[in-house]
Homo-oligomer: A and B are copies of this chain.
Amino acid sequence: MENMIKEHVRDIPDFPKPGIVFKDITPLLKDAEVLRKIVEAFAERYRAMKPHAIVGIESRGFLFGVPLAQALGIGFVPARKQGKLPYKTIGISYDLEYGQATIEMHVDAVNKGERVVVIDDLLATGGTAGAACALVQKCGGSVVECAFVVELGFLHGRDQLKRTPVYSLANYV
């Protein structure tokens, strides 16, 4: 699985800015069989944990989170950037390298006592995923695990998420 993913992830030097090597996951989506295997790997892991919903982080978390939710027969909840969700929202602000960002969910998206898996395509420093987990908790829910297709282990995002289990299918250590 890890090799298959790494063979399909494309390194883009200097994106979005000089010195950063961006992991382009779009080739994983172009190959239906590769995507199917990724979704099934997550589904196998989470089937026994019986989460109530999958929370996907905008926007690449949508790409993997929706088919995972469908594979498990559970609902999908989008966590989005500030101002994107139309109904009443609850939000969490978190620090970026420069400035702040806010991530939101609808107030009725995760209910008290519900257990969810939070998913994104990639774990970097863990700022956004940590905020998404805090948001689930603010709604009275709990995060079974944070799931990522790709983890940039050398950025130690797991440390940011220390109270939440982290699972990734491919790790760049």
| A residues neighboring B (CB under 8 Å) | 10, 12, 15-16, 22, 24, 26, 29-33, 35-36, 39, 53, 58-59, 62-64, 66-67, 69-70, 72-78, 83, 85-87, 106, 109
Contact = CB atoms under 8 A, between A and B. Distances in A.
A62 B25 CA distance: 14
Nearest to A33: B73
Total copies of this chain within the assembly: 2
B87 A35 contact: no
B75 A22 contact: no
A24 to B, nearest CB: 5
A158 B30 CA distance: 28
A22 B86 CA distance: 7
24 contacts: A10-B86, A10-B87, A12-B86, A12-B87, A16-B86, A26-B87, A26-B106, A29-B66, A29-B69, A29-B75, A30-B77, A31-B75, A32-B72, A32-B74, A32-B75, A33-B73, A35-B70, A36-B70, A39-B70, A59-B59, A63-B66, A63-B76, A66-B66, A67-B70
Contacts of A73: 32-33
Give the interface SS of chain A, mostly helix, strand, loop or mixed: mixed
Contacts of A75: 29-32, 35
A37 to B, nearest CB: 11
A52 B26 CA distance: 16
Given A16-B86, A22-B86, A85-B26, A78 B66 contact: no
Q: Which of A12, A70, A77 has the most CB of B within 10 A?
A: A70
